[in-house]
Every structure is written in C-alpha cells, then in structure tokens.
Amino acid sequence: MAVNSTIPLFRFEIEPDLVAALRTATERVLDSRRFVLGDEVAAFEREFAAFCGVAECVGVANGTDALELALRAVGVEPGDRVATVANAGYYASAAIAAIGAVPAYVDVDERTLSMAVAALDPVLASVRAVVVTHLYGRLADVEAIVAAAGAHGVPVVEDCAHAHGAHRKGRRAGAFGAVGCFSFYPTKNLGALGDAGAVVTGDSAVAARIRSLRQYGWREKYEVVLAGGRNSRLDELQAAVLRAKLPWLERWNAARVAIARRYREAFAGLPLGVPDLGDGDYVAHLFVVRSRHRDALRAHLAAAGVGTDVHYPRPDHLQPALAHVAHSRLPVTEAACGEVLTLPCFPGMRDDEIGRVSEAVRAGAVALATRQGAREGAPRRMRQ
Ligand SMILES: *Cc1c(COP(=O)(O)O)cnc(C)c1O
C-alpha cells in the first residue's frame, strides 16, 4: 500500500480466524435450509441477552426498527410526545415519525453532548417515553435520566447503536432503561454482513409484544392481536454471523479505546475538544473532536489524506423534512453540530495510520490557531 494513500474513516478488517468462523457459520445456515427466525436467531438472542446482562433479546431487521418497535411496545401511540435529542442522526426521529408520534427535542450537555437531565425535566410531564442515545459510544447520564423519568412513570428507551458492550458499575448499555435498542449495521462495534438489529429488555411482557410486532402483530400464525405490527424479522444468516463475531466484541472495543488513548496523548495542549477515555463506559465507536475551525480542519485533513466525517452536521429539528413543524432553539446542540469532527478509529487500524492522523491533526490545529491569532492581533485564549 502506498505510504500516502488516504486513510479511510472506517475499513472492514477481517482476521483469518474470523474468516474461518464466518465460513462455518454461513455453511451451517445453508445446511439447515432455514433462513428466517430459526435456531440461529434464537441462539443469538440468548447469547446477546446474556452478554448485555438482561433476560430477553428479540432480533429485528435493523436498528431503526428496533427503536420503533420498542417505542410501540412501551405504549407510544400516534399523537403521543416522545422526548429525544436532536444531535444523534435522526434515527429516533424516524422511529417516532413512523408511529405518528411527535418528537419533543431536548438539549444536550455541553461536555458530553448527550441528553441533559436538566433540559429533560420540564418536558417529562407531557411525554409518553424518552429515547436516550449513548452518543459516539459513551454511556449517557442514563441512571439520572431513568430516575427522573421514573418519577413521572415514563419509560426510557436506550439507543445503543454506538455503544455495544459499554458498561458502568457492572451494567451494560441496554440494561439501564425499560428497553435497549441495537443496530448491527456493518460499521457498528458489532456489525453483521448486512442489516440487522435487536431489542433487549428485562420485561418479558415488553419482549413478547416486540416478538409479535416484528411479525405482523401475530400471536399465532395469521391471528393478529397487536396493531402497528409488520415484517421486521432477523435473517438466520445475519444471526449466525453475529454469533461468530460476538466473542470478538470486547477485543475490538479495547482496540478502539487504545486508538482513542493514542489520539488523546497526541492532542494534549491543542485548542481542540477531545473525548475522555472513561472507564469502560466509552467504547470509542466514534472518536469525535470539537473545533471552532471544523471545516478548515477537515479540509486540511483531506489534503493530508485523512478521511473524516461529521456526526452529525444538521440537528433533527432543523432538517428540511421538519420545516413545517414549530420548534424551540437548542443552543448547545446547534453549536456542536458546527464544530464536531470524526476521525478514523477502527479495529485493525495500523500504527503508522494512527501516527499519520495524529500528526495531521496536530499540524492542522496549530496552523489554524496561529492564523486565527494573527487575524485578531493579540494572542487569545481558545474556548476549548
Ligand atoms: C446506526 C444507528 C441507528 C440505526 O440503525 P440502522 O440499523 O441503520 O437502522 C440508530 N441510532 C444510531 C445512533 C445509529 O448510529
């Protein structure tokens, strides 16, 4: 590979041992002649529930469906309000819209960029559920959110699509609220070879409703007992792939966190907002820095052959699809959307690649700060 080839934001690296495990898994499915909701799905559901430390797991077609069916299963109906953040990629908003419910957007904490409990409190009296996203792979302030919501009898749905395996005080993502929702899109910390998702819960009645909703609202074949059901089944092939990959998840999470540690050391003293490493509660799905010169920094990195992305550039309440809906301002969310920048951070990223990204970010941040200082005449303290 050429030394100066572009470093991608994400690259699918596949270890030889894992290739062998995936071959075995897919052959097993072929041999079984069963392709939808069979033994592989049932086994994955048991194994992933055990991994998350909850009683039940229900496999579904993708992470957005997981959110929608979870909200339906905790009782959200058309016209109900659901509290959520506006800086997490519109997935929860899409799920809320699919039900005909209405998002009540809540601003985020300046430091963590996840839901601010103080901003949630005023809307709790008027919402039917809360969706909290563990943004970038860091557990949100979920215990406080569950306590505040619980005081109003409001269930909390965790969006764990960035946070497979993140844990705090012995509890994993998905085990804090009423329901946890996962996506296994290929780039996630645990990814299928296509679309897949799951819902985890300790509540067997909620699990039973999701099992029914993922298959047309059936109780038995052709007997529809729940409204709002449809087809959101998980394939045997994807379940077998996920079973083969699950034993690798913690190793991969550790590899991501090790890259985050290298970046933190390299970026010390720069005028950049840099994520904390945490203590198991950050699985480094995305390594996101903050800069007042985000777009210039991004251009600098592109010129240096470093792939980046912005998660996410436009807050949900300012999306064109919601232009006709009145909304209040979300100052922290809106400011962050203009400053966040995601750097490459994936298992299998090579040492020299981590070094090149680190160097390019350092050089870019220093050059931009110098240029800014020159423009303003006197040296000036950066905001971050
Ligand atoms: C990927 C993602 C989802 C949705 O998952 P899909 O499987 O793509 O539907 C939901 N929430 C967040 C935060 C995500 O990043």
| Domain definitions of the chain by residue range | 16-106+113-247, 250-376
Q: What pLDDT does 376 receive?
A: 64
From 185, 234, 238, 286, mutation site for ligand 1 pocket: most ligand atoms within 8 A of C-beta: 185
Q: What pLDDT does 3 receive?
A: 55
Ligand 1 pocket check for 197: Cβ under 6 Å: yes
Give the distance (Å) from ligand 1 centre to CA of residue 64.
6
Ligand 1 closest atom vs CA 88? 13
Question: Which residue has a Cα nearest atom 15 of ligand 1?
Answer: 161
Give the distance (Å) from ligand 1 centre to CA of residue 161.
5
CATH 3.20.20.70 fits 250-376, yes or no: no
Ligand 1 pocket check for 162: Cβ under 6 Å: yes
Query: Per CATH, which fold does 16-106+113-247 belong to?
Result: Aspartate Aminotransferase; domain 2 (3.40.640)
Ligand 1 closest atom vs CA 184? 7
- Taking the C-alpha atoms of residue 91 and residue 363, their distance in angstroms, rounded to an integer, is 35
Ligand 1 pocket check for 48: Cβ under 6 Å: no
Q: What pLDDT does 382 receive?
A: 40
Ligand 1 pocket check for 63: Cβ under 6 Å: yes
Q: What pLDDT does 377 receive?
A: 56
Q: What pLDDT does 72 receive?
A: 98
Ligand 1 pocket check for 183: Cβ under 6 Å: yes
Give the distance (Å) from ligand 1 centre to CA of residue 89.
8
Ligand 1 pocket check for 158: Cβ under 6 Å: no
Q: What is the pLDDT along the chain (384 residues), one digit of tens a residue?
A: 455 689 999 999 888 999 999 999 999 999 999 999 999 999 999 999 999 999 999 999 999 999 999 999 999 999 999 999 999 999 999 999 999 999 999 999 999 999 999 999 999 999 999 999 999 999 999 999 999 999 999 999 999 999 999 999 999 999 999 999 999 999 999 999 999 999 999 999 999 999 999 999 999 999 999 999 999 999 999 999 999 999 999 999 999 999 999 999 999 999 999 999 999 999 999 999 999 999 999 999 999 999 999 999 999 999 999 888 888 899 999 999 999 999 999 999 999 999 999 999 999 999 998 887 777 654 444 444
Ligand 1 pocket check for 44: Cβ under 6 Å: no
Q: What pLDDT does 326 receive?
A: 80
